Structure 1
Amino acid sequence: MQENRPLAGLVAHLVLVLGVLIVAFPIWYTFVASTHSLQTILSPPLPLVPGDRFLDNYGEALVGGIGQIGGVGIGRLLFNTAVMATAIAVGKIVISILSAYAIVFFRFPGRMVFFWLIFITLMLPVEVRILPTYKVMVDLGLIDTYTGLTLPLMASATATFLFRQFFLTIPPELVEAARIDGAGPMKFLRDILLPLSKTNIAALFVILFIYGWTQYLWPLLITSDSRMSTIVIALRKMVSFTDADTPWHLVMVVAILAILPPVMVVVLMQRWFVKGLVETEK
């Protein structure tokens, strides 16, 4: 039975509205700045309503090249970042599923040793591994390539651990029934495990896509050609030490465009994302 407490409901809604305003206001302010001219932005206070430069600013950023980032258009940078984020998310999920599948359903010497070796890598921050990884990429000639951007970031101990914990909840009777029906290892993985894991995969994809989209340190090291930069790197390059040298109207445009793809992924996959995090019964 649910009690009717109008005062408590009102307070809860006010807190939610306040939270939304606190989170949304900087985004709104950035969008408003992206629709004004540079002179308006440099002459505070900035209006809180959109200006008349929306088409001009966004057209200049998307179609024309921006000098601060080597004359590269934002479309190219968004494409690079999308390729990087998607490849990292898909690669992490595929490798983690196969690793967890082998550890849980196959019996071979040292399988738990391999699992703990994977798990221990969680204790190693990226900064510890970044120099030897960079040396390997240089030796392989993968600087300024999509392979160099994505391959070193594909392994994930966290995703392997999560899939292992889920696979351990699979009833042994289901495994035995599949074996009796003549299902081989790959058929069991494809027809039984993957459908059962779809909500987990969706939730991890959202998290890992955002992880790949917001990468800064590794793309900064592995790319020297402006045409291979990501949107985050470009955003940093556009900001100068002096306000007069920074095209703030274009910086705000790039910031808004950098936000949109992760937001779209979260919105489109919200239902699967929530189910993958909170669903306990598969």
Structure 2
Amino acid sequence: MSTQPPVRIGARGSKLSLAQAGQMQRRIAEALGADPADAPRVAPLVVIATTGDRVQDRRLLEIGGKGLFTKEIEEALLDGRIDCAVHSMKDMPIEQPQGLCIAATPEREDVRDAFLSPRAARLEELPQGAVLGTASLRRQAQALHRRPDLQIAFLRGNVDTRLAKLAAGEADAILLALSGLKRLGLGHLPQSLLDPVESPPAPGQGALALQVRDADRDVAWLEPLKHGPTFLTVAAERGALAALEGSCRTAIGAHAWLAEGRLKLVVEALSPDGRLRFRREGDTELAAAADPFAAAHGLGLSLGGAIHDEAGDALAIPD
């Protein structure tokens, strides 16, 4: 009989978070050599409420930023109440708390934003002055850059809440991550999908982050959960995020992909009203790199740094 103690998995209580954690629960159980039916015993889920989930009436930038989706879960990791946390990568701050690390990035889902509307098939086809519902500063800025006539309605909440608000007429259209819709079995709902080069998604969108204590970063059960291409593309996007001092106060999009042995990256940052947009594109050959991660991260730092130098103070919302 195995002496491996259970791997307790911390996750938020939202339907999407539990769906993502459930996927990882089955993968971790398999990595531990357990029967899938035994997953709840060998890799139990521990639901942890976060401040980001509790406060739904304000933008994240007003209450402390994206770390509010991870803080309580990270405290549970540090306290030893859980052994692993499953986060959406786009919710992860650049700096990790002392004693914790992102130890694995499983294979990524579709990175694109999805357009949902009962009134149009595409963003460009919305009527003049239509209302777009979103709580994302990036989505707001990108939409206003393409359609400055749109009205933006603040729309936070889980996927079901946003879909219900759309159905109730609180907005003419909304934008959601396709990855979340697909993980919830709702990938059929979008009217169309945004091109990730033309409208880069949030850095890390579609990817999951498995966070553990530093002492556990090399445990054997994590190895099957690591996906090299995702690791490298996320490294590039988060490099750009780091260079731009990315937070919920800055509208930043980044999309990296692998093609013919090269890592390609497009980064953009916009003023909140969408009027100003700063873009950079570049690529690097990973096959010849002594450290592919450093090369990927360095590409992101370089492109993000170039935008930062050009944009100056034009990007952030004033205090």
Q: Which has the larger radius of gyration?
A: 1
Structure with greater helix share of residues: 1
User: What is the TM-score of this pair, normalised by structure 2?
Assistant: 0.26
User: What is the TM-score of this pair, normalised by structure 1?
Assistant: 0.29
Higher relative contact order (CA 8 A, sep 6+): 1
Structure with greater strand share of residues: 2
